[in-house]
């Protein structure tokens, strides 16, 4: 039986390739965007309109509880409105995008009562030509995600804004700590140092 106090938020970085799917089966999981090509999470989130449009046909077939931007035309379990405060305690009413869908997952994890949130696949580093938040057309193989075809040649893509993402991550970390909860980054080779970093083996310890 899965522990209702623990969840894993899956990023889509290259490090996720090495994560054993059978390990994930033991925990509640959040995932986003193209995560279904690696693993089908319990909770699926897609807040970016470009991603929602590109992935609509698959999203609507997922068995996960799905959360998608209300501004898209994607059918889902719970539509999300992106007009929330910097950290939303009532995500069903509104939620903050925080410049990364991972932050949306963190707010949902808090709302669902998870006490310990582990991050996997949150590499927090990208190679691209463009400016933060700029919409670009991707050319060539995708080097930023667990699959080289995650974003295909010719796809529209929003460049990340890592500085603003970290602003929101710090806010989330403070809120979790104040409320005796924790976020721990288990991503191998991660560039995200806002949260405590531990080894992925900590997950196996929960299964003993």
Residues 73-85 have pLDDT tens digits of 999 999 999 987 8
In a domain, 27, yes or no: yes
Does 74 reside within a domain?
yes
- For residues 149 and 17, is the Cβ–Cβ distance under 8 A? no
Question: Is the CB of residue 119 less than 8 Å from the CB of residue 183?
Answer: yes
pLDDT tens track for 157-195: 999 999 999 999 999 999 999 999 999 999 999 999 999
- Domain containing 102 equals 6-126+162-205
- The reply to whether 50 falls in a domain is yes
What is the rounded distance in angstroms from the CA atom of residue 188 to the CA atom of residue 184?
12
Structure tokens at 34: 């193209």
Kindly state whether residue 88 falls inside one of the protein's structural domains.
yes
Q: 157 with 138: CB under 8 angstroms?
A: yes
pTM, whole model, 2 decimals?
0.97
Rounded to whole angstroms, how far apart are CA atoms 178 and 185? 18
Query: How many CB atoms are closer than 10 A to CB 166?
Result: 17
Q: Is residue 111 part of a domain?
A: yes
| 115/177 Cα distance (integer angstroms) | 10
Does 134 map to a domain?
no
Provide the number of structural domains found in the chain.
1
User: 42-101 pLDDT, tens per residue?
Assistant: 999 999 999 999 999 999 999 999 999 999 999 999 999 998 789 999 999 999 999 999
Secondary structure class of 88 (helix, strand, coil): coil
């Amino acid at each position: 039986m899965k522990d209702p106090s623990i969840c894993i938020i899956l990023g889509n970085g290259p490090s996720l390739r090495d994560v054993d799917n059978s390990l994930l089966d033991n925990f509640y999981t959040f995932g986003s965007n193209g995560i279904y090509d690696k693993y089908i999470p319990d909770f699926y989130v897609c807040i970016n309109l470009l991603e929602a449009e590109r992935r609509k046909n698959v999203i609507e077939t997922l068995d996960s509880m799905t959360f998608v931007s209300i501004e898209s035309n994607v059918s889902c379990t719970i539509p999300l409105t992106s007009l929330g405060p910097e950290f939303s305690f009532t995500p069903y009413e509104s939620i903050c995008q925080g410049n990364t869908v991972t932050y949306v997952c963190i707010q949902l994890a808090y709302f669902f009562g998870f006490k310990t949130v582990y991050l996997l696949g949150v590499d927090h580093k990208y190679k691209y030509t463009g400016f933060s938040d700029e919409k670009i057309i991707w050319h060539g193989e995708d080097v930023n995600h667990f699959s080289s075809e995650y974003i295909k040649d010719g796809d529209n893509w929003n460049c990340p804004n890592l500085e603003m993402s970290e602003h929101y991550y710090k806010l989330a970390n403070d809120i979790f700590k104040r409320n005796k909860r924790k976020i721990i980054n288990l991503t191998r080779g991660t560039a995200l140092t806002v949260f405590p970093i531990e080894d992925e083996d900590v997950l196996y310890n929960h299964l003993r």
